[in-house]
């Protein structure tokens, strides 16, 4: 799949970087010449294992740290120079929210909103209540923040990013600490936000999270951009896995290896592997001719996990 090279200031991209680089003292290269383009209206998954440079990139995009080299544009404006104009149009949740533990969840949001010079104080209370409702914290709004679980704190941080309509939402590991039900609720909220017209930039190390909610994605590895594009393009660019169910796994493995199936693994009566080029039906025919009792046979569509492994030779947390 051909990558699109980001052009700084591209009006079709809400985030565009060109050669963006961050090297820390001591020589550690955290982000290496990143060219990234995030289309307006997309739910963009910024994907990579912990330590791949995702959070460092986000901090540069929002002007929290200075890049060593290259350029970054948010909403068509250069960063960090245009931060005063740009950041009021951006909501962000990065590395967990900073909260006043002695204040209630609701009081924390009132403080956040009061610190925003663009916020209308006349509608503050209603907007805080709406934000709490959207993240499922209305029932815990009066509880002190220090009594919140990690997942509840994540929800409150997301509520702070939703106090006003935003053109761009930047969310760094937004489901961190949430149980499966909470993760589903946040995914549903992200889809709703995108339908309302926001572009959502979602950083995660959870492949299934990206696959379920995102329209576009980019893969980071050791500080470098490996590839970027739509989720559909990425999955289509990787070969699927052959799966065979049979009570004769030993004989099936022998036949499949003879016919070019590689990376073969067996789990009970199920075998899976990378099929060779050609018609998979020929493999099924070969199994039957060898007397293998085939109960199920097919090629599973490639997932983002397959894509990542094919690009980097590594796997990482796919379920949290």
* 167 in Cβ contact with 15 (< 8 Å): no
Q: Per-residue pLDDT averaged across 229-233, rounded?
A: 82
pLDDT tens-digit readout, 77-123: 999 899 889 998 999 888 777 889 999 999 999 999 998 888 899 99
- Do the beta carbons of residue 292 and residue 251 sit within 8 Å? yes
* Residue given tokens 């909610």 in the structure block: 213
d(CA 315, CA 320): 13
Work out the pLDDT band at 286, boundaries 50, 70, 90.
Answer: very high
**Over the stretch 184-221, which tens digit does the pLDDT of each residue have?**
888 888 888 888 889 999 988 777 777 788 999 998 88
Matching CATH number, 239-301, of 3.30.70.100, 3.50.50.60, 3.40.1000.10, 3.30.43.10 = 3.30.70.100
Q: Is the pLDDT of residue 254 over 90?
A: yes
Mean pLDDT of 13-33: 93
Which strands make up the sheet holding 90-93, listed edge to edge?
Answer: 90-93, 168-172, 199-204, 43-47, 216-221, 224-230
189 preceded by cis ω (within 30°)? Answer: no
pLDDT at 7 over 50: no
Domain ranges of the chain: 13-236, 239-301
Q: Do domains 13-236 and 239-301 have the same CATH topology?
A: no
Tell me the helices (H) and strands (E) count for the chain, helix number first. Answer: 11, 14
Q: Is residue 9 predicted with pLDDT exceeding 50?
A: no
Q: If we measure between CA atoms, which residue out of 228, 245, 246 comes closest to residue 237?
A: 228
The chain-wide mean pLDDT, for the chain, equals 86
Query: Mean pLDDT across the stretch 15-23?
Result: 96
pLDDT digits (tens, 9 = 90+) for 136-193: 899 999 999 999 988 888 889 889 988 988 899 999 888 877 888 888 888 888 888 8
Q: How many residues does the chain have?
A: 320
Average pLDDT score over residue span 249-266: 92
| CATH node for 13-236 | 3.40.50.300
**CA-angle at 145, arms to 191 and 117, nearest 5°:** 65
Percentage, residues of the chain above pLDDT 90 = 49
The arithmetic mean of pLDDT across residues 272-281, rounded, is 85
pLDDT > 70? residue 306: no
Residue 57 pLDDT > 90: yes
The SS3 assignment for 62 reads coil
Provide the pLDDT for residue 1.
40
Across the range 291-306, mean pLDDT stands at: 81
Q: Does 238 score more than 70 pLDDT?
A: no
**Which 3 state secondary structure label does DSSP give 163?**
coil
């Amino acid at each position: 799949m051909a990558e699109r090279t980001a052009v700084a200031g591209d009006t079709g991209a809400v985030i565009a970087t060109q050669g963006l680089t961050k090297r820390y003292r001591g020589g550690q290269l955290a982000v290496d010449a990143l060219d990234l383009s995030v289309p307006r209206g997309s739910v963009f998954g910024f994907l990579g294992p912990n330590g791949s440079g995702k959070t460092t990139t986000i901090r540069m995009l929002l002007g929290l740290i200075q890049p060593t080299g290259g350029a970054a544009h948010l909403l068509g404006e250069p960063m960090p120079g245009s931060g005063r104009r740009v950041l009021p149009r951006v909501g962000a949740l990065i590395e967990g929210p900073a909260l006043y533990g002695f204040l209630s969840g609701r009081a924390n949001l009132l403080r956040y909103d009061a610190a925003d010079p663009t916020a209308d104080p006349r509608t503050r209370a209603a907007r805080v209540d709406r934000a709490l409702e959207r993240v499922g914290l209305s029932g815990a709004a009066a509880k002190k923040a220090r009594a919140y679980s990690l997942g509840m704190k994540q929800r409150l941080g997301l509520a702070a990013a939703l106090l006003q309509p935003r053109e761009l939402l930047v969310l760094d590991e937004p489901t961190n600490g949430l149980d499966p039900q909470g993760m589903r609720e946040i995914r549903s909220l992200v889809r709703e936000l995108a339908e309302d017209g926001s572009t959502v930039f979602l950083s995660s190390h959870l492949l299934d999270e990206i696959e379920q909610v995102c329209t576009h994605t980019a893969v980071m590895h050791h500080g470098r951009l490996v590839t970027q594009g739509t989720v559909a393009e990425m999955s289509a660019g990787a070969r699927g896995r052959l799966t065979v169910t049979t009570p004769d796994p030993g004989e099936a493995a022998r036949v499949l290896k003879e016919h070019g199936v590689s990376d073969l693994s067996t789990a009970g009566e199920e075998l899976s592997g990378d099929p060779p080029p050609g018609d998979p039906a020929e493999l099924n025919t070969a199994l039957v001719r060898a007397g293998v009792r085939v109960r199920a046979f097919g090629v599973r569509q490639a997932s983002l996990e397959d894509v990542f492994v094919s690009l980097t030779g590594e796997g990482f947390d796919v379920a949290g």
